[in-house]
Structure 1
Amino acid sequence: MLTFPSCKINLGLRITEKRADGFHNLQSCFYPVSWGDIVEIIPADEFTFGSSGLAIPGDSQHNLCVKAYNLLKADFDLPFVQMHLHKLVPIGAGLGGGSADAAFVLKSLNEQFGLALGVSTLEDYARLLGSDCAFFIQNRPLYCVEKGDVFSEISVDLKGYHLVLVYPNLAISTAEAYAGVKPHQPTIPLIEQLQMPIGTWRDWVHNDFEDSLFPKYPVLAEIKQQLYDAGAVYASMSGSGSTVYGIFNAPIVVPNQFSAYRVWKGEL
């Protein structure tokens, strides 16, 4: 079975407080984007995992796809499988690529082997793998709070807009990003800000990681300004990684300044 995990962007990301368990509470809207990886899972005589495409650091047995398989195998009589991940979404990019891979493995195993697990159960398994993973079970626009794994409905629809993602070949780890964060409550909850016209988001909808990471990595602020100069109605850093995105009313020619970077564009 082939599956095509998508990534996501964050429409705003406010870090509101540090939790007793060491994590942080946040407010964000996760919005799925069709750029993604490819995962193949087929029955086999023994379990194997391989990858191609972008290099994935670390021991493959610690890959979230492998962890997802082991998590379900501990509770169900899963057969061995041969699993292959073709990696296209950059790592440390703030796009949730690895989280999406894990969530789509859970969904694929559920479907392929008739486990009959519902959405809420799959989300509970996904939460054991990482804070972003549960979002990709439903994989639709959701307002996310607490660790980013508690969801509510939000009426944000960007259909017809065009998206440009710019990854400046710079990986930022989650630990590095959170090290510079200063939690605070926004004066207006993000969910209310996102109900404003998208043309006003530039003045209201903010990613708190920009406050500490833009001074440290000036290229990120430069890309954001270049996207606005190219006509973006809204531009922002995504998540805690280094991808900066721009939302446009119409397709654009990607500026020459981005020629050395990894760029994806498409319609939302």
Structure 2
Amino acid sequence: MTPALSLLSPAKLNLFLHITGRRADGYHELQTLFQLLDWGDSMRFTPNNGGEITLSGDTMGIPVEENLITRAARALPRNQEKHGVDIRVQKRIPAGGGLGGGSSNAATTLLALNQLWQLGLSSMQLQEIGAQLGADVPVFVGGQSAWAEGTGEVLTPVVIPESWYLVVTPDCHVGTAEIFSHQQLTRDTSPIKIAAFFEGHSRNDFQTLVRRLHPEVNNALNCLDKFGNARLTGTGACVFCSFADEQAARIALSEIPHPLTGFVARGINESPVLAALARARE
């Protein structure tokens, strides 16, 4: 039997996030820069010959059939009599934090099972399947930090100067659907070029609204602002600040007041394992 596969399911940051319009079907047009981190959840995939898909570990109280991990496994074209797997997940990425935990888990599942079950699907085919599961899944399937447009599915890999990040996790959950549908959300930001981001002309269009609705996020941003340009990731609730080196980030973490918590992680242009799995069928 094929041996088990253990993988890091990485978190991401949105280094900026602009909403540039709203389509007739209700979906939002956006621009963002996805930064992958060398920190995330641990996932282990153990094939079984019974055709059963099982999920254990830190399932966050989500029913198995509704969990994105299970849905990703079932979305693959498989022989239901012989393509089974036991999946165990150890979570570190908080839910509702804007770090992409569910999307990353789904993408890692697609990549792992494509290899374990020898399905031979290309990275593009896996990204198409992933897009049906969630807008952020395709970037994790590619395993590379990327500039994103459209609804998040038009991806251009980019090389970002390496930074260390302090990510603070306020004790609240921000509902993505609630924020996207809020009447006060800015939806008409003018599109920018990649060069404009590196020149500092960007923001997170959700930040003003989220900090108004969630005092915990406002407090976290105020605490981080003394270290640099603190910013919300995704629709929140997590906020982050970049540093030139790990030591500076860890010193800042030690100065974060109780009860705020956080972690330090390195930004990476490519997740070596996920990118290798993505390229294996190209």
- TM, length-normalised to structure 1: 0.88
Contact 1:27–1:190 (CA under 8 A) maintained in structure 2: no
Tell me whether 1:51 sits opposite 2:70 in the alignment: no
1:7 pairs with one of 2, 5, 11: 11
- TM, length-normalised to structure 2: 0.84
Provide, for residues 154-207 of structure 1, a one-character-per-residue CA deviation record: whole Å limited to 9, x for no partner: 34x231x22111111211111121122230132x615232232xxxx3xx3200
Change (3 A) 1:115 1:192: same
Task: Specify the alignment match of 1:176 in structure 2.
Answer: 178
Per the alignment, in what secondary structure is the counterpart of residue 111 of structure 1? helix
AA paired with 1:31?
Q
1:223 pairs with one of 216, 220, 223: 220
Task: Specify the alignment match of 2:210 in structure 1.
Answer: 213
Change (3 A) 1:34 1:78: farther
Cα RMSD of the aligned pairs, angstroms, is: 2.0
Q: Higher mean Cα deviation, 220-229 or 18-27?
A: 220-229
Tell me the CA shift for residue 139 of structure 1: 2.0
Contact 1:37–1:86 (CA under 8 A) maintained in structure 2: yes
Contact 1:165–1:244 (CA under 8 A) maintained in structure 2: yes
Task: Specify the alignment match of 1:154 in structure 2.
Answer: 158
Partners in 2 of 1:153 and 1:175 — Cα distance?
27
Task: Specify the alignment match of 2:198 in structure 1.
Answer: 195
Tell me the CA shift for residue 240 of structure 1: 0.8
Task: Specify the alignment match of 1:236 in structure 2.
Answer: 231
Per the alignment, in what secondary structure is the counterpart of residue 76 of structure 2? helix
Task: Specify the alignment match of 2:242 in structure 1.
Answer: 247
AA paired with 2:174?
I
Task: Specify the alignment match of 2:36 in structure 1.
Answer: 32
Tell me the CA shift for residue 130 of structure 1: 0.6
2:136 pairs with one of 132, 135, 142: 132
2:119 pairs with one of 115, 118, 126: 115
Contact 2:168–2:238 (CA under 8 A) maintained in structure 1: yes
| Runs of at least 5 residues in structure 1 that lack an aligned partner in the other structure | none
Partners in 1 of 2:266 and 2:11 — Cα distance?
14
Task: Specify the alignment match of 1:267 in structure 2.
Answer: 266
Change (3 A) 1:227 1:47: same
Partners in 2 of 1:13 and 1:31 — Cα distance?
12
Provide, for residues 191-247 of structure 1, a one-character-per-residue CA deviation record: whole Å limited to 9, x for no partner: 232232xxxx3xx32000012111112332332232231x33x32100012000010
Contact 1:4–1:38 (CA under 8 A) maintained in structure 2: yes
How many residue pairs were aligned? 256
Q: Higher mean Cα deviation, 140-149 or 250-259?
A: 250-259
AA paired with 2:264?
K
Partners in 2 of 1:215 and 1:173 — Cα distance?
14
Per the alignment, in what secondary structure is the counterpart of residue 140 of structure 1? coil
Contact 2:51–2:80 (CA under 8 A) maintained in structure 1: no
Per the alignment, in what secondary structure is the counterpart of residue 4 of structure 1? strand
Provide, for residues 16-46 of structure 1, a one-character-per-residue CA deviation record: whole Å limited to 9, x for no partner: 1111222111000011012211111112235
Task: Specify the alignment match of 2:270 in structure 1.
Answer: none
Change (3 A) 1:258 1:93: farther
Partners in 2 of 1:3 and 1:26 — Cα distance?
30
